[in-house]
Amino acid sequence: MFPAVLGIAGTAVAAAGWFGYASSRGHDGFGLGGGSAAAITQPAAQAAAPAAVSVRDGATDVTPDGVLTVAAPPGEQIGMVELTYKTEAVQGVFSDDRRTWTASGPLRAGVSYALSAVTTTDAGGTGIQHETFTTSRPDNPLKLDLVAPTDGSVVGVGQPVVVSFTRPIADAGRAAMEQALSVSAIPPQAGHWSWLSASRVDYRPQSYWKPGTKVSVDLALDGLGDGHGRYGTADRDFGFTVGRDQETTIDLKAERATVRRDGNVVHTFAVTGGMPGLDTWSGTYAVIDKSPDVHMNSRTVGLGDEYDIPDVKWDVHITYTGTYVHSAPWSVGAQGVRNVSHGCIGTSPANAEWFFSNTLPGDVVKVINTPRQVAPGNGFADWQEPWDQWLTGSAVH
């Protein structure tokens, strides 16, 4: 969560020496050659008073996402602060007058920290404060509901990074949450986080990922609060690789799908979409997942007893509200002619199997020419928003 580097948040003041050693060995802090010791010895400066730490020494219930500060007594400054968990150092920021130091970001949950702080006076005196304390671990921690894509997966160029929590994040906590989530790509691409709901934040590049891109994601959630009294207890990191560029356009006025790979048409096939009144959502999707068999029951989408099919084949999932591209042998006569489904996109068994076999999670599927538009949070439809609009959903942009 924090860089495993030496946690020196500043340098010791040269005149004060290191950790309370007075400068009594000469003007440079070391013995000077020549002359007698009596001729060069300087009176030791009066020791500085110790710093005031906002956390009590020995405390065992420190909230990880609280603000930890170190303050110098009147007339003194903070020379150095070191705050560590094992070999992991917590970074911090000095005030302009170096009278206070504030830890950056949350601490880990349920671990012990050691703190050392050096105070200095204008006369060269030093004081040192040592403390240890332990952070608390919540009974009801912040939990993840969904993280996508899966670690090590190969995905399509439209794949967003999806982070969904089991409970809403307070408005006041979203900026810190965003800043704790990082994405790096090789080669680099501009991208940003955007909140699609109070419990879901997604990251996408400005334009589709470049094929072959290696993406690493770091979720520094340990100790991070949600603004409602819950906080994370573990970090998480994962990575994925972007595969070839495959984009499918499904035109439900023409009842036809066209699959392009790296810009070239590789397959076309007849389809049928949602009938009038149950129109398929238009929009630009990234494929959520796929399954060779899905039990489709109309009650799960609010359509009563319209259908109950236990083994629909070759299912490519594109919305949370139940839209798939799938095999529909019962509607082959309507495919390429008219829209007769309850909202899914049906095609022949052979075409459905081809599309299933040749589709990755994150592949782009664009549905056009229907009377309604999908919302960005309904599946992975992040590409519904133009870039400027996407950025307005960020808490830090």
Backbone φ and ψ of 50, nearest 5° = -70, 160
Which of the following is catalytic: 192, 317, 342, 344? 344
The span from the CA of 197 to the CA of 101, in Å, is: 35
What is the residue-wise DSSP string for 305-364? TS-EEEEEEEEEE--TTS-EEEE-GGGTTTTTT---BSSSEEE-HHHHHHHHHT--TT-E
Nearest partner of 352 among 271, 258, 286, judged by Cα: 271
Active site residue 344: yes
Calculate the dihedral angle through the C-alpha atoms of 397, 179, 361, 259, rounding to the nearest 10 degrees. Answer: 20
Which of the following is catalytic: 228, 326, 342, 397? 326
Burial of 124 (C-beta count, 10 Å sphere; 0-12/13-18/19+): buried
Give the distance, in angstroms, between the CA of residue 70 and the centroid of all CA atoms in the same chain.
Answer: 29
Are residues 279 and 335 in contact, defined by beta-carbon separation less than 8 angstroms? no
Active site residue 130: no
Backbone φ and ψ of 151, nearest 5° = -60, 135
Are residues 72 and 99 in contact, defined by beta-carbon separation less than 8 angstroms? yes
- Which neighbouring-strand residues pair with 247? 260, 364
Are residues 359 and 289 in contact, defined by beta-carbon separation less than 8 angstroms? no
Are residues 156 and 362 in contact, defined by beta-carbon separation less than 8 angstroms? yes
Give the other-Cβ count within 10 Å of 113's Cβ. 21
Active site residues per annotation: 326, 344
